[in-house]
Structure 1
Amino acid sequence: MTGAGNEPSDGITSDLLTAVARFHGQDGAVAGTGFLVAENIVVTCAHVVEAAGSGP
């Protein structure tokens, strides 16, 4: 994985931080998190999608 500047990261912690997505509801509050598992795929739970204002 790469860091924020697309340079190779130097550790697991920085890789994990770049792989975590935060979902916000329409009011701006955090609805939950998800994890980047491929270039265009984020995995999360249905209750996070619902809390963000959409359906599973």
Structure 2
Amino acid sequence: MLDLSRNRVLTVALEVTDDASRKAAIEDAAIEDMHLVFETNYFGSVSMIQYALPYLR
């Protein structure tokens, strides 16, 4: 892995293939938190695309 610490970039190791960690994340999260994450990740992306598309045409 590259040493990104000199550029003030924090790297974090994630285990996304572990079934137990994925299930625990969903089971332990409140529905309000999931709603905020979805709103940020989905609608945030849609808003940025809608903003940028007229300039990209």
Instruction: Say yes or no: TM over 0.5.
Output: no
| More strand by percentage | 1
Q: Which has the higher contact order (CA 8 A, sep 6+)?
A: 1
The two structures have a TM-score, normalised by structure 2, of: 0.29
Report which of the two structures shows the higher radius of gyration computed on alpha carbons. Answer: 2
| More helix by percentage | 2
The two structures have a TM-score, normalised by structure 1, of: 0.29
